[in-house]
Structure formats: structure tokens, C-alpha cells
Structure 1
Amino acid sequence: METPFTKLVGVRYPIVQTGMGWVAGPRLVSASANAGALGILASATMTVDQLRSAVREVKSRTEAPFGVNLRADAGDAGERVQIIIEEGVRVASFALAPSKELIARLKDAGIVVIPSIGARRHAEKVAAWGADAVVVQGGEGGGHTGEVATTVLLPQVVDAVDIPVVAAGGFFDGRGLVAALAYGAAGVAMGTRFLLTSDSTVPDAVKATYLAASVKDITVTTAVDGLPHRMLRSELVSSLEHAGRARALAQAVCRAAGFRKLSGLSWPQMVREGLVMKHGKDLSWSQILLAANTPMLLKASMVDGRTDLGVMASGQVAGLIEDLPSCAELVDRIMAEARDVLARLPR
């Protein structure tokens, strides 16, 4: 199935596996790429050396194009960009809008630049700066998310920009792919659906928690880091939501002390990280500490399997997913469903 997106990045199918921290590592990315989708490696939770090693591991597992997700506001963003240039990575994706200068540097090196955005004006801005495509995430998507549903946000962005638009938030099957194409998108991006595959390295017990969740078990909360964050409801989330400021600060300091040992960050570094992640929001000190700890809160679940200590970012579609196919099985199924839906549409 050829679309402007598949032609732009050189993949067989208009499907993107998103760059989820602690989840989108070399095994999942290479499996997605070999299945014909665009796999995106999550680099924000890696050191610079780990990023280079991970890129080389993906290259050893697949000859298909893949991408790397970068934090545009990271202090070492320039160094990370240099790595993906040197290693010949096909796509650079961003959770936050990269600067005009950063986009130009990547494009001069022949790398396709695809920021993720959550508002029409953001899409217009990065398109004007030279971005090659955008991923549009509606409020149904997991992790940090906005309030506007994909079905409302997507057509706004498609009408506003002249570059390929990839739809994210609420997609998990071939029907969704066809619907996105009907809206004018050039493909779909999925995180939770790829997290729940046999190629994902997320612990089995955590996957089982996702599979057992209903749509109502997936909530949006600002209690974790002060920003709207879609995740599975858990005892940790409930305790943060019902804690007063003093209790919340005590809990944040307690968790920060433990996560500081895992991350190797000093207390001043953790506070600086939290302040960077504020994005102009009025956060309490407990939320600033938790904002700095958010990657480690995710690691506790996604890597260590400690659902009692961590958070589980999730799209609403987790409530509709019931199995753990391989990436190849998943992509083949989605494409078969899409072709079947298209064949049954009235002519």
C-alpha cells in the first residue's frame, strides 16, 4: 500500500511503531522494520553511547529503514543528532518541536524529519521550518497527550499543511488505518499496539495487566508530573491523585531518592530536569521531582515489572486489545483487514 509517507521513508506499509521510552529498543524496532512498518528507536532513556550501540544493533538485525526519536530540548541533542547522521539513520522523530536550525542540519544530511505534534499551529510551525512530515497525536494516545480527539485534530492538520500527515491516538487495526486514510492521513502510528506484541521486551506480567484493562481503566492524570498523562489506573496513580501537597512532596522525595540511585542523577540535576519538563506549567515541587523521575517511573514498570512502583503509559486502545502477536503477524493482519475493508466499501 503506497502513500506519500511510504514513498518518503521507503517502507512497505503506512504504519509507524512509535518511540516509546524503555519499550522501543532494538528488538522491537528491528521486528517492526522487518515487518514493513517504520520502527522508531526511543533514545531519550539512553546515554549517548547506548544510543550509538542501539542504532548499530538495529542495523545488524534489519536492512529496512528505521528512525530514532530525540528530545529536542536535551542538552546533548546536537551530539545525538551527529550520531544518527554518522550511522545513516533514515528518520529523526521528535516528541517536541525541533528548532529550525536542527531541522536544517538533519535535512542537509539527507535525514527525514518527522516531529510529533498535538495542535494545528504546531504542525504549521514545523512545516514552515522544513519538516518532511508530522505525526498528529489525538487525546486518545498514551503518555503525555492533549485534549482534542484524533477525529477532530487530524482533519484540521491535514487541511493546514502540505506535507504527509501520520495519524496517532486510537489506532490498532486495519479499520483504523482505512479511516485515517479517508481523513487524508498518509499512515497511522501506534504505540500501545506494538507494546503489546511478542517482540516487545516489556515483562509478561505487565503485558497481562494491559490486556486485562478495560477502556475505563485508562485515565488521564496530571498527578504524576503536572502534565496531562494518559496511563493505566493503578494504586500509585490513585495515591498521587488523593495526596495533599505535603504528602505528595514526601512521596516524591522518597521515590526520587530511590530513582536517583538508578538514574545516577544528582539532586540538582534532577531538579533541573524537572524544571525543563515544566514547559511553562505551574508545577508544585513534588511534581517537579516527579517530572524529572518520569522516565524512571516508566522504567520501573516497563523494564523491572514493578507495577506497584511505576506508571504504565497507555493509549485508550489497550481496552480493546486481547492478544500478543508478533510484529510481523500484527502488520500482516492490519494490512489484510485494511484491504478487506476497502474492498467492501460502496463504489
Structure 2
Amino acid sequence: METALTRLVGVRHPLVQTGMGWVSGPRLVSATANAGALGILASATMTLDQLRDAVREVKSRTDAPFGVNLRADAGDAGDRVRIIVDEGVRVASFALAPSRELIAELKAAGVVVIPSAGARRHAEKVAAWGADAVIVQGGEGGGHTGEVATTVLLPQVVDAVDIPVVAAGGFHDGRGLVAALAYGAAGVAMGTRFLLTSDSTVPDAVKARYLAATVKDITVTTAVDGLPHRMLRSDLVDSLERSGRTRALVQAVRRAAVLRRTSGLSWPRMVRDGLAMKHGRDLTWSQVLLTANTPMLLKSSMVDGRTDLGVMASGQVAGVIEDLPSCAELVERVMAQAHETLAALSAPALRDPRGPVAS
């Protein structure tokens, strides 16, 4: 299925596997790329050396195009961009809007720039700065998210920009792909659906928690780090939401102590990271500590399998996902269903304005 997205990045199918911290590693990304979709490596939780090694591992597993996701506000963003350029990575994606200068540097090196946005004005800004495409996530998406549903946000952005738009938030099958194309998107991006594959390195016990969840078990909370964050409801989330500020601070200190030992970060470094993220936001001290530790809270679940210590970012689609196919099986299934749906929509009975004719 050829779209503006497939032509832009050189993949066979208009599907994107998003860059999820601790989840989108070389195994998942290469499996996605080999299946004909665009896999995106999550680099925010990697050191520079780990990023270079991860990129090279993906390249050893596949000849297909793939991307790297990075934080535009990271202090070493320039160094990460140089790795992307030096290693010949096809696509750079961003969780936050990159600067005009960063976009220009990447484009000059032949890298396709695809930032993510959760609002029309953000999409308009990166389009004006020269981004090649934009991923637009509606409120149904996992992790940090907005309040506007994909079905409302997507057509707004499609009408506002003249670059390819990739829809994210609430997609998991071929019907959703067709719906996004009908709105004018050039493809769909999926996180939770790719997390729940056999190629994902997330521990089986954690995947089982996702598969057991209903749509009512997936919530948006600000209790973790002060921003709306969509995740599976858990005892940790319930505890944070019930806690007053004093109790929340005590719990945050206790959990931060555990996570500090796991991560090797010093207390001053953790506080500095939290204060940097606090800038311009009304956060409590407990949220400052948790904000600094959000990557480690995710690692506790996604890597260590400790759902009692960590959080499980999740899109609402987890409530309707029931299996763990390989990436190849998933992509084949999504595309087959998309073609079947398109064929059904173009059937003669539907094309005839009079409707089906009785025999």
C-alpha cells in the first residue's frame, strides 16, 4: 500500500512502531523493519555509546529503513544527531519539537525528520520549520498524552499542514488504518500494539498484565510526574492518587531510594533532573522526585518486571488486544484487514446511491 509516508521513508507498509523507552530496542525495531513497517529505536534511555551500539545492532539485523527517536531538549541532542548522521539512519523522530536549527542540520544530511505533536499548533510549528512529516497523537495514546481524541485532532492537523501526517493514539488493526487514511493521514503509528508482540523484550508477566486489562483498567493520571500520563492502573498509581502531599513525598523518597540503587544516579543528580523538568510547571516535591525517576519507573516494569515498583504506560487499545503475534504476523494481519476493508467499502452495493437492489 503506497502512501506519502511509504514514499518518504522507503518502507512497504504505512505503519510505524513508535519509540517507547526500554521497549523499542534493536530486536523489536529490526523485526518491525523486516516486516516492512518503520521501526523507531528509543534512545532517550541510552547513553551515547549504547545508542551507537544499538543502531549498529539494528543494521546488522536488517537492511530496511528504520528511525531513532530522541529528546530535542536533551543536553547531548547534538551528539545524538551526529550519531544518527554518521551511522546513516534514515529517520529521526522527536517526542518534543526540535529546533529549526536541528531540523535543518538533519535535513542537510539527508535524514527524514518526523517530530511528534499532540496539538495542531505544534504540528503547524514544526511544519513551518521544515519537518518532513509529523506524527499526531490523540488522547487515546499511551504515555504522556493530551485531552483531544484522535478523531478530532487528526482532521484538524491534516487540514492545517501540507506535509504527511501519521496518526497515533487508538490504532491496532487494519480498520483503524483505513479510518486514518480516510481522514487524510498517510499512515498510522502504534506503540502498545507493537509492545504486545512476541518480538518485544518486555517480560512475559508484564505482557500478561496488559492482555488482562480492559479499557476501564487504563487511566490518565497526573500523580506520577505532574503531567497527564496514560497507563495501566496499578497499586502504585492508586497509592499515589490517594496520598496527600506529605505521604506522597515519603513514598517518593522511598521509591527514589530503590530506583537510585538500580540506576546508579546520585541524589543531587536526581534532584537536578527533577528541577530541570519542573521548570514552568507546578509540581510538588514528590512529583519532582518522581519526574526525575520516570524513566526508571518505566524500566522497573518494562525491563525488570517489577510492576510493584514501576508504571506501565499504555494506550487505551490494550483493552482490546488479546494476543502476542510476531511483528511479521501483526503487519501482515493489519494490511490484510485494511485491504479487505477497502474492498468492502468499494463494493458495488455501497457505490450505488440507491443502496442494495432486492432480487
One-letter code aligned to 1:172? H
Q: Secondary structure at the match of 1:189?
A: strand
Using the TM superposition, give the Cα deviation of residue 264 of structure 1 relative to its aligned residue in structure 2, in angstroms: 2.3
One-letter code aligned to 2:11? V
1:6 aligned partner: 6
Question: Segments of 4+ in structure 1 off by > 6 A?
Answer: none
Distance 2:275 2:67 in 1: 28
1:138 aligned partner: 138
Using the TM superposition, give the Cα deviation of residue 257 of structure 1 relative to its aligned residue in structure 2, in angstroms: 1.4
Q: Secondary structure at the match of 2:278?
A: coil
Distance 2:277 2:179 in 1: 34
Using the TM superposition, give the Cα deviation of residue 273 of structure 1 relative to its aligned residue in structure 2, in angstroms: 1.6
One-letter code aligned to 1:131? A
Distance 1:83 1:152 in 2: 37
2:248 aligned partner: 248
One-letter code aligned to 2:205? A
1:178-327 matches, cutoff 5 A: 178-278=178-278, 280-327=280-327
Distance 2:74 2:261 in 1: 21
Using the TM superposition, give the Cα deviation of residue 268 of structure 1 relative to its aligned residue in structure 2, in angstroms: 2.2
Q: Secondary structure at the match of 1:27?
A: helix
Matched, 1:43 2:59: no
Distance 1:198 1:169 in 2: 21
One-letter code aligned to 2:262? L
One-letter code aligned to 1:224? V
| Alignment deviations for residues 158-182 of structure 1 (CA, whole Å, 9 cap, x no partner) | 0000000000000000000000000
Distance 1:46 1:248 in 2: 29
Using the TM superposition, give the Cα deviation of residue 263 of structure 1 relative to its aligned residue in structure 2, in angstroms: 2.0
Matched, 1:106 2:106: yes
Q: Secondary structure at the match of 1:67?
A: strand
What percent identity do the matched residue pairs reach? Answer: 85
Distance 2:276 2:114 in 1: 22
Distance 1:276 1:134 in 2: 26
| Alignment deviations for residues 174-224 of structure 1 (CA, whole Å, 9 cap, x no partner) | 000000000000000000000000000000000000000000000000000
Using the TM superposition, give the Cα deviation of residue 265 of structure 1 relative to its aligned residue in structure 2, in angstroms: 2.0
Q: Secondary structure at the match of 1:277?
A: helix
Q: Secondary structure at the match of 1:73?
A: coil
Q: Secondary structure at the match of 1:236?
A: helix
Using the TM superposition, give the Cα deviation of residue 255 of structure 1 relative to its aligned residue in structure 2, in angstroms: 1.2
One-letter code aligned to 2:190? M
1:338 aligned partner: 338
User: Max radius of gyration: which structure?
Assistant: 2
| Alignment deviations for residues 250-276 of structure 1 (CA, whole Å, 9 cap, x no partner) | 111111112122222222221222233
Using the TM superposition, give the Cα deviation of residue 143 of structure 1 relative to its aligned residue in structure 2, in angstroms: 0.3
TM-score, normalising length: structure 2: 0.96
1:159 aligned partner: 159
2:82 aligned partner: 82
Q: Secondary structure at the match of 1:68?
A: strand
| Alignment deviations for residues 124-154 of structure 1 (CA, whole Å, 9 cap, x no partner) | 0000100000000000000000000000000
Using the TM superposition, give the Cα deviation of residue 279 of structure 1 relative to its aligned residue in structure 2, in angstroms: 5.6
Distance 1:2 1:244 in 2: 53
2:149 aligned partner: 149
Unaligned 5+ residue runs, structure 2?
A: 352-359
After superposing the two structures, state which structure 1 stretch, 243-252 or 258-267, moved more: 258-267
CA RMSD, 1 decimal: 0.7
| Alignment deviations for residues 88-134 of structure 1 (CA, whole Å, 9 cap, x no partner) | 00000000000111111100110000000000000000001000000
1:57-76 matches, cutoff 5 A: 57-76=57-76
Q: Secondary structure at the match of 2:83?
A: helix
| Alignment deviations for residues 55-107 of structure 1 (CA, whole Å, 9 cap, x no partner) | 00000000000000001111111111100100000000000000111111100
The alignment of Structure 1 onto Structure 2 pairs a total of residues equal to: 347
2:128 aligned partner: 128
Distance 2:170 2:280 in 1: 28
1:21 aligned partner: 21
Distance 2:108 2:311 in 1: 39
Q: Secondary structure at the match of 1:63?
A: coil
2:171 aligned partner: 171
| Alignment deviations for residues 282-328 of structure 1 (CA, whole Å, 9 cap, x no partner) | 00010011001000000000000011110000000000000000000
Distance 1:85 1:6 in 2: 21
TM-score, normalising length: structure 1: 0.99
2:93 aligned partner: 93
Q: Secondary structure at the match of 1:167?
A: strand
Q: Secondary structure at the match of 2:333?
A: helix
One-letter code aligned to 2:235? E
